[in-house]
Chain A
Amino acid sequence: MGKKTDIIETLENINSIPTLPTMIERITRLLLNPTTSAEEVGKVITTDQALATKVLRLVNSAFYGFPGKISTITHAIVILGFSTIKNVVLTTSIFDAFHKRGDETEDFDLEQFWRHSIACGAAAQAIAKYLGSNDKEECFIAGLLHDLGKLIVCQYLPDEFSMVLTNARLKEKLFFESEKELFDVTHQEVGAFLTQRWNLPQNLQNAVLFHHTPDPSREHFLMTASVHCADIFVRALDIGNGGDNKIPMMSEQVWRSLGFENNSLIPLFDSIRDEVEKATIFLQLT
């Protein structure tokens, strides 16, 4: 296996790359419509029994404080709210699409990987909320998906993946620096390839592709910046692990444009930890 072109060619020729579950599209479309009722969403969710069970388990988990009392999906949706439902559907669908075929290698802990991804989603959402952004839910998704490229490489090019991991560890580098050094192709590019193939909105594609190199002159900068910061904060708070144990450099432009001060970071860290606790319940459902 050689360099960049070979890797991209390999990926393009993989026919079995997971497709985005149709459920995500259906739910997303429904939830975008302000007149959609809980019953309508409930009907769609009920068509997928595994998903319906997860939603019921979530609402009946100790976290929401109604254990054992909610037995209908519609009731669950009313309690959880549309945005949580969307996050549940998305997280569990994506998790299922990959986790089922999860080849856990000795040096890569998938559970820690998902914990990092979910935490990034939750943190990006908390940052967006802090910034007063309207894209909170989409930021969750962007954070959740930002490292998707790593999973693809892990599953379809396991030898290369293993080399990147070892090289990152030995040289005390970031995962993407190691990728760049060995193959000149990064998980950001591979992830963006997948989001494109899935026809995800441009803002999500950009957040995945540029989460290590955010640039204010590009479109959808705020979402990319939220994910960029989320990744750094979550690593600093030691929540999960995406494959290396280093902190990427904070973009100065992001830092300045988001206007973080020491005082504003403390409550932000608190809300990140709250959101992460909430989101981690999804992980327990799968």
Chain B
Amino acid sequence: MSVPNYLLPDAAEHAIIQDTMKKITVDKIEDGMILGREICGASGNVLVSKGAPLSAALGRRLQNWGITTLYIEGEEDSLAEENAVSISPEKLREDLMYKFSNVINNPIMKQLFTTVYQYRLNKNV
């Protein structure tokens, strides 16, 4: 960050703080992660405060409360890289081929197949 934080207006600072959080699903919680944003219950009551250390046990409790995603502290990109399981191009092609097998001879579907394959490979989804 080239501009020191104290030179930025509050709103901009807030945006920066938000940028250093990452949304994960409850089942991805690992011991030692820090909660980046408080978790609230149905009535708006705080269940877990921001900054609280997370654990797999807490994750199971959150699941019981019906909470499926949360924000943890950390850089979105670096964490995403660390945690991302890259899709294997062969496996993706195989899965898509199964889905498309009855329609792949149609030119539109063939084109759609290629676009979807490239898209999912690039976005890792």
Chain A residues with CB under 8 Å of chain B are 53, 56-57, 60-62, 65, 67-71, 172-174, 232, 235-238, 245-250, 252, 255, 262, 265-266, 269, 273, 284
- For A60, the chain B residues whose CB sits under 8 A away are 40, 44
With most chain A CB atoms within 10 A of its CB, the pick from B23, B40, B45, B68 is: B40
The answer to whether A255 touches B40 (Cβ under 8 A) is no
- For A67, the chain B residues whose CB sits under 8 A away are 37-40
Q: Given known contacts A237-B125, A246-B99, is B115 in contact with A265 (CB within 8 Å)? A: yes
The answer to whether A266 touches B119 (Cβ under 8 A) is yes
Complex CA gap A69/B40 in Å reads 10
Q: List 19 A-B contacts (CB under 8 A).
A: A57-B40, A61-B40, A62-B39, A65-B18, A67-B38, A68-B40, A69-B44, A173-B102, A236-B116, A246-B101, A247-B109, A249-B103, A249-B109, A250-B112, A252-B108, A262-B111, A265-B115, A284-B67, A284-B69
Complex CA gap A237/B109 in Å reads 14
Chain B residues with CB under 8 Å of chain A are 18, 23, 37-40, 42-46, 66-71, 95-96, 98-103, 106, 108-109, 111-113, 115-116, 119-120, 125
Given A67-B39, A249-B106, A269-B119, 20 further pairs, Cβ under 8 A: A53-B43, A62-B39, A67-B37, A68-B38, A68-B44, A172-B98, A172-B101, A232-B112, A236-B96, A236-B112, A236-B113, A236-B116, A237-B120, A247-B99, A248-B103, A250-B109, A265-B112, A265-B115, A273-B125, A284-B66
The answer to whether B46 touches A68 (Cβ under 8 A) is yes
Name B96's closest neighbour in chain A (CB-CB).
A236
- For B120, the chain A residues whose CB sits under 8 A away are 237-238
The answer to whether B44 touches A237 (Cβ under 8 A) is no
Name B122's closest neighbour in chain A (CB-CB).
A266
Name A270's closest neighbour in chain B (CB-CB).
B123
Name A254's closest neighbour in chain B (CB-CB).
B108
The answer to whether B95 touches A238 (Cβ under 8 A) is yes
Q: Given known contacts A250-B109, A266-B119, is B99 in contact with A245 (CB within 8 Å)? A: yes
- For B108, the chain A residues whose CB sits under 8 A away are 250, 252, 255
- For A173, the chain B residues whose CB sits under 8 A away are 102
Name A232's closest neighbour in chain B (CB-CB).
B112
Q: Given known contacts A237-B116, A252-B108, A284-B68, is B103 in contact with A247 (CB within 8 Å)? A: yes
Q: Report the minimum CB–CB distance from A136 to chain B (whole Å).
A: 23
- For A65, the chain B residues whose CB sits under 8 A away are 18
Cβ-defined partner of B99 (8 Å) among A70, A235, A262: A235
Q: Given known contacts A237-B116, A250-B109, A255-B108, is B43 in contact with A245 (CB within 8 Å)? A: no
Complex CA gap A26/B96 in Å reads 43
- For B69, the chain A residues whose CB sits under 8 A away are 62, 284
- For B67, the chain A residues whose CB sits under 8 A away are 284
Q: Report the minimum CB–CB distance from A261 to chain B (whole Å).
A: 9
- For A248, the chain B residues whose CB sits under 8 A away are 103
